Amino acid sequence: MSILSIENLCKNYGRVQALKGVSFSVAKGTVFGILGPNGSGKTTMLGIIMDILQPTSGTYKLFDEQPDETSRRKIGTFLETPNFYHYLSAQKNLEIAAALKERGANDIPRVLELVNLTQRKDSRFSTYSLGMKQRLAIASCLLGDPEVLILDEPTNGLDPVGIAEIRQLIKQLHQQGKTIIMASHLLDEVEKVCTHVAILKKGELVVTGDVNEILANEDIVEIGATDIQQLETIIGTLHGYSNKKIQDKMIQLFYPVGTTDVESINRHCFNNGITLNHLQLKKKSLEAKFFELTN
């Protein structure tokens, strides 16, 4: 079952194209990251899905059906900076949120416990740290026990402790069976909490799929010899690498992380009459992979 399916979605603001024919789907039970630099169209897309904005063209479905008020009530959303009454307690703020949503009034103790704010439920919102404010906003999303959560930059502006708290909460909610759609410009957070990802760049979809496949680190072995053509021929009989490139009179061999054996590479070349004059193991970082995809 697809929680969300988007087909050729476009959004124009005058001459500015915020979304350019984006298509992908989100399966039930996933933590789906929408990743991209600021200005890539993430928030615009979420606004369209929740009927805050109208698309210029294209379509989308929720729960494999045309979206309506009933389907949107199955979704808890966090699309902006937490917006509560500063002089009221968490308990009172959630009571107001439940009244506005017309659901979840009896759910307040449960959601406060989920986000670890039970002991501070009677404290004024103004006394909360930014991380606590974010967690209260997620608690508001959880009122009525929605099947799906949509979170726009949930760790934005948080310190490392606050980021870790939100990360752990998202993992916990996923373990409870929630489908979570999370927009973020933070590569590290998407890699750590999401199961699937769609990467946007200037309104265009760059790639979508399993996080472990798209954002996988790679080991790179760089080798060189006097006769680069003969080296390339010998490397053609070597097994284990996923890809190779010739760059600056060097050959780069790409291996899945943890599978590289530089000694066997050196031995293979030597046994086939090639003495390497260069052999270096490098790591391809997530940042390098991300920049490669978005540039």
Which CATH number is 222's domain given?
A: 3.30.70.100
pLDDT band at residue 284 under the 50/70/90 scheme: low
Q: Is the pLDDT of residue 117 over 90?
A: yes
| Token digits of residue 29 | 């039970």
For residues 77 and 209, membership in a common domain is answered with yes
What span, in angstroms and rounded, lies between the C-alpha atoms of 252 and 257?
15
Please, which pLDDT band fits residue 181 given cuts at 50, 70 and 90? Answer: very high
Residue after which a domain boundary falls, among 196, 214, 232: 214
Q: 289: domain range? A: 218-294
Percent of the chain scored above 70 by pLDDT?
95
What total of structural domains would you count in the chain? 2
Q: Are residues 66 and 136 in the same domain?
A: yes
**Crossing angle of helices 228-235 and 262-271, rounded to 10°:** 110
pTM over 0.85: no
H or E element: which one contains 277? none
State pLDDT tens for residues 56-74. 999 999 999 999 988 888 9
Rounded to whole angstroms, the Cα distance separating 63 from 204 reads 24
pLDDT average, residue stretch 180-186: 92
